[in-house]
Amino acid sequence: MIGCPNKISLGTLIAPVHFTHEKHEFMKPNFVQKIIFLVSVWIVPAVIAVAQTTQTTDKTLVNMFAKTLDIYYIDVEGGQATLFVSPSGETALIDTGFPGTRDPKRILEAVKAAGAKQIDYLVITHYHADHIGGFLELSKQIPILHYVDHGPTVQPEQNIPSKQAYDAAVAKGAHIIVKPGDKLPISGIDWAIVSSAGKTLADNMLGAPGAGKPNPYCAGFVGKDVQVDLENAQSMGSVISYGKFRTVDLGDLLWNVEAELACPVNRIGTVDVLLTTHHGMSWSGPKALVYALQPRVVVMNNGIRKGAQIETFETLESAPGLENLWQLHWSANGLLEHNVPGRFIANMEEPLITSGLIAHPPSPATSPTGPRPAGIVAPVPRAAMGNPDHDPAYWIKVSAQEDGTFTVTNARNGFSKIYQRKN
């Protein structure tokens, strides 16, 4: 910047102009010199600086005021609750977390942060307790306008109070049962159903990048015959798009059913953000699908002990095109070898718990629910034996622009990363 001569004060530059009957002050040579100096030293450099940065500032200003699709991945300790706020302001909540008041409280905090007053669409992927459990308490505290699900459960024996409350609500409310190929009428975004009630898309997604291409990763696919908790295989899966931005959420869809979306051709195409299916459990997430989707970012909705299995970590660590994994929780499965750096983890554990796990690693998990507590050496708080409650709980937020640029933010530490659009 051009400096101002030391001997000229601001007071001198803006000294009052005096008028006389004989001659106006502004016509005197001294005054004209002051004006010329002011223009040359201050105004001209400022105009040049603005001109030089017009291209970048234009983009910055446009981005600042652009409408976004906002997604809040809410920590429900290894269940699911994901809030979408469309550019039009309409809201959709995928699942409600576990039974009790903890998870509804966390959901409502995200709703408040988003400036919303109601849930326009409640999307229930399936009826397990970690997905529908929070409905009973949540429905008492906020209006829900539409209910969306895959239809009747295949595990009627899991009839918890929230499931009973949900059945009563849909009996008298606006209820939508979806099938693959359907779309939810949410203004400003495209919400396509790709799986429901054990069925998947029969056709390729029209206009989706990469959809319909033969999938070379199918050659190495090996099926898994999972015969436990078959309601998972009924999960409603969605691909949500805003302009060039695309994200996918498949609930707890099981391994073999997921493969139907990828083999022999990729029905969905590529996406920007993938939510790990089934919290990162090894019952879901085959390479044939994950690799074909080519996500730039993966969000893992794990708990300290639930999900985030080693097989899933290893799949993601070798996924083509993946720039970052973001975790809702530090994982007792991942320990030092697989957990991502702390700035990408929304919720850390108590130091005593973490240090105990690192110093005395549990045996490798043989169950999708995580390593057994026997691997932890005393003294460790009783909370370490499960997925402990903690307050506050932090979400991971994605804000996507129509041109495909998106920002991911860790609410715990404020760390954000911008992923510029790809041509």
Summarised one tens digit per residue, pLDDT across range 122-133 is 999 999 999 999
Three-class DSSP category at 37: helix
Classify residue 15: in a domain, yes or no. no
pLDDT along the chain (423 residues), means of 10: 39 40 46 49 45 42 69 96 98 98 97 98 98 98 98 96 98 97 97 98 96 96 94 98 98 98 98 97 97 98 93 97 97 90 91 67 57 39 48 95 98 98 83
Residue 230 lies in a domain: yes
Structural domains in the chain (count): 1
pLDDT value for 149: 98
Q: Report which residue type is found at 265.
A: V
Note whether residue 259 is domain-resident.
yes
pLDDT confidence of residue 50 = 41
Q: In terms of DSSP bridges, do strands 91-94 and 82-85 run parallel, antiparallel, or are they unpaired?
A: antiparallel
What values do phi and psi take at 356, rounded to 5?
-65, -40
pLDDT in tens, 196-224: 999 999 999 999 999 999 999 999 999 99
- Each residue's pLDDT tens digit, 172-194: 999 999 999 999 999 999 999 99
Centroid of chain to Cα 281: 18
Q: How many CA atoms lie within 13 A of 245 on its CB side?
A: 25
From 153, 155, 124, select the one nearest 139 (Cα to Cα): 124
Where in the sequence is the domain holding 389, given as residue range(s)?
168-419
CA dist., res. 415 & res. 32, Å (int): 52
- For residue 402, tell me if it sits in a domain: yes
Q: Which of 222, 238, 215 is closest to 291 using CA atoms?
A: 215
> Does the residue 79 lie in any domain?
no
| 387 falls within a domain | yes
What is the model's pLDDT at position 57? 41
Asked if 311 and 286 count as a contact pair (C-beta separation under 8 A), the reply is: no
Q: Is residue 243 part of a domain?
A: yes
Burial class (CB in 10 A: 0-12, 13-18, 19+), 379: exposed
Compute the C-alpha angle 205/209/212, nearest 5°: 50
Over residues 253-304, the pLDDT tens digits come to 999 999 999 999 999 999 999 999 999 999 999 999 999 999 999 999 999 8
Q: What is the pLDDT of residue 168?
A: 98
Which structure tokens are listed for 252? Answer: 């707890």
Q: What is residue 367's predicted lDDT score, i.e. its pLDDT?
A: 53
In a domain, 328, yes or no: yes
